[in-house]
Amino acid sequence: MAQIIINVDGKEYPCRPTMGALLRFKRETGREVSNMDGSIEDLCTFLWCCVCSAAKREGMKFDMSLMDFADQLETDVIENWLKQNQGMLDDNNQEQQKKT
């Protein structure tokens, strides 16, 4: 999946669903990402995990706690992130269908 850039508290951060993000989510919630319930808590937590992982991968300092991140996060950031992820998932599904 392509990387998304999100803006939190006036600063841009990379955001990507990596294996590290999946592991962080499991450690934070005790559940697999596939068991997300669609709640704001789960969405915010997974978004934070994706930013933590992508920032680390890029060598960028990101030391916000989950709550600090949530306090700075505007709701439109989550909405845009969900729309962008859905677009990427749709593109990936179309590519997979072409291959079969």
* CA of residue 38 relative to chain centroid, distance: 13
- Give domain limits for the chain: 4-99
Q: What is the DSSP string of 41-69?
A: HHHHHHHHHHHHHHHHHTT------HHHH
Residue with tokens 């997979």: 96
Mean pLDDT of 95-100: 56
User: Three-state DSSP class for 74?
Assistant: coil
pTM here is 0.81
* pLDDT digit string, tens, across residues 33-80: 999 998 999 999 999 999 999 999 999 999 999 999 999 998 888 888
